[in-house]
């Protein structure tokens, strides 16, 4: 996902990791990485990461839930972003999901 705020371009990527044993999920996480990018949408500098762990005993693994939790945690790690700046990321996230939350 790409977003621009005040003339600065950012690239957001997610990585999902699911470990299975005997066809049962034993570990699952989602990592969100936010990069400063150039106009060609190439990664330039890693700004922050956020991680969401799935409690296998209590939660159902869901990629969308993992993306939302990890994005929220990553955005709050960047103290220079205002709530309006974070709103741009969430707007682009909803657009990426086709208007679905």
Q: Are 34 and 18 in contact (CB under 8 A)?
A: no
Give the integer Cα–Cα distance in Å for 75 and 12: 10
| Segments making up each domain of the chain, as ranges | 2-96
> What does the pLDDT read at residue 60?
85
Q: Give the model's pLDDT for residue 57.
A: 81
User: Would you say 14 and 31 are in contact if contact means Cβ atoms under 8 Å apart?
Assistant: yes
Q: For the residues 5-9, what does the mean pLDDT come to?
A: 88
For residue 36, pLDDT beyond 70:
yes
The mean pLDDT of the chain is: 89
For residues 33 and 52, the answer to whether their CB atoms sit within 8 Å is no
pLDDT tens-digit series, residues 44-82: 899 999 999 988 888 888 899 999 999 999 999 988 888
Q: What is the pLDDT of residue 14?
A: 96
């Amino acid at each position: 996902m790409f977003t621009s705020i005040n003339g600065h371009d950012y690239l957001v990527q997610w990585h999902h990791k699911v470990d299975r044993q005997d066809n049962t999920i034993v570990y699952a996480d989602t990592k969100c990485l936010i990069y400063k990018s150039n106009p060609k949408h190439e990664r330039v500098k890693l700004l922050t990461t956020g991680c969401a762990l799935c409690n296998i005993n209590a939660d159902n693994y869901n990629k969308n839930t993992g993306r939302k939790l990890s994005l929220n945690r990553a955005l709050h790690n960047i103290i220079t972003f205002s709530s309006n700046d974070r709103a741009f990321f969430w707007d682009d996230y909803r657009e990426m999901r086709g208007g679905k939350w």
